[in-house]
Amino acid sequence: MKPATVELIFFIYFFIALTSFSAMVVLARNIINNVFFLLLFLINTAALFLFLKAEFLMAIQIIVYVGGVLALFVFAIMIMNLKEEIKHSKYIKFYSAGLIIGLIFLLIIIYTVKDVTTIGQPLPKPDSVLLGKLLYSYYLLPFEILSVVLLVALVGGILLAKKLPKEEK
Amino acid sequence: MIPLHWYLILSSVIFSIGLIGFIIRRDLIVMLMCLELMFNAVNITFVTFSAFNGNMTGQIFAIFSIGIAASEAAIGLAIVLAIFRNMAIVHSDDIKNLRG
């Protein structure tokens, strides 16, 4: 089945944009440029979610990642005040080993998924009402467990980031 | 529509870039960013299967994954800040207190 031309153009744009932005997150030298490319990557991922008929996840992606996680990264960089970062080498000593491991992993995954098909019907249209009903009925217990996990992360983050009692004096 | 395995190849390419970056970069904050790349690749896979199977469960698991990723980023950055303040280290291969 041959895809429609508009969908093909959008998918090729998403492929090129997502792979190049994620590569630039790894390759950029200045650390604030990494955050900037991560921002572009996350916004393009949100657009891909909308392309895949998941409009609620697009909103969640922008609110949580762009509004929350990225602000955390920017604050951490601001607190750590990394000025001497330019002089040091940015890769570990045996970076070729990491490259080989990653490429082998990629080849194995592509070989596995290269002719996978699905037997289900495609999603007819975006439907947040169904998502909310499912989330609050069948997946209620995992939802509550997720809230407990977030509370533990909040308390743990504060405890780890605050000064120890012997450092304060 | 676009075939299913194109999306899976896109997701695996992003995941591999994140994995390679997590292994080869020295800065702790950039390593955490590469973790976010890997989380997003997996979320793309979840949403793809949700759209191709007509089933909302994939989107719900993507929501759970986003929540876990947010808490992971908070804890990870707190650990990085604690390491930076106690040992003045920002590179992963300088942490060798437990090396024999």
Q: Does A8 touch chain B (CB under 8 A)?
A: yes
Domains and CATH numbers, chain B: 4-87 (1.10.287.3510)
Token pair for B63: 């929501």
- How many CB atoms are closer than 10 A to CB B48? 24
Which segments of chain B does DSSP mark as H helices, in order? Answer: 4-24, 28-53, 57-87
Distance CA A103, CA B100 (A): 32
- Which candidate, A124, A63, A116, places its Cα nearest to that of B55? A124
Does the distance separating the beta carbons of B48 and A91 come in below 8 Å?
A: no
Distance CA A22, CA B14 (A): 7
| pLDDT for residue B12 | 94
A25 vs B37, B60, B80: nearest CB: B37
Does the distance separating the beta carbons of B33 and A35 come in below 8 Å?
A: yes
Token pair for A118: 């699905």
Convert the pLDDT of each residue in A92-139 to its tens digit: 888 889 899 999 999 999 999 888 888 878 877 778 888 899 999 999
The answer on pLDDT for A18 being more than 80 is yes
The answer on pLDDT for A89 being more than 70 is yes
Task: Enumerate residues 6+ apart whose C-beta is below 8 A from A42.
Answer: A61, A62, A65, A66, A70, B36, B40
- Answer yes or no: are the C-beta atoms of B25 and B6 closer than 8 Å: no
Convert the pLDDT of each residue in B27-74 to its tens digit: 888 999 999 999 999 999 999 999 998 888 899 999 999 999 999 999
Q: Does A48 touch chain B (CB under 8 A)?
A: yes
Residue-range domain boundaries for chain A: 3-126, 127-169
Helix (H) or strand (E) holding A23: helix A5-27
Beta-bridge partner residues of B27: B91
Coil, helix or strand at residue B91: strand
Looking at CA atoms only, how far is residue A18 from chain B in angstroms? 7
Rounded mean pLDDT, A65-74: 90
**How many Å is the maximal CA-CA distance in chain B?**
57
Does the distance separating the beta carbons of A117 and B16 come in below 8 Å?
A: no
Task: Look at A8-22, B60-74, B83-97 and tell me which has the smallest mean pLDDT.
Answer: B83-97
B47 vs A31, A54, A127: nearest CB: A54
ipTM beyond cut 0.90: yes
- Answer yes or no: are the C-beta atoms of A52 and B11 closer than 8 Å: no
Distance CA A84, CA A73 (A): 18
The chain-wide mean pLDDT, for chain A, equals 87
A76 vs B21, B80, B91: nearest CB: B80
Does the distance separating the beta carbons of A152 and B47 come in below 8 Å?
A: no
Interface test mutation site (partner B, options A2, A9, A19, A22, max chain B beta carbons within 10 A) = A22
Residue of A nearest to B75 (CA): A157
Q: Tell me which fold the domain A3-126 belongs to.
A: Four Helix Bundle (Hemerythrin (Met), subunit A) (1.20.120)
Convert the pLDDT of each residue in A27-47 to its tens digit: 988 888 899 999 999 999 999
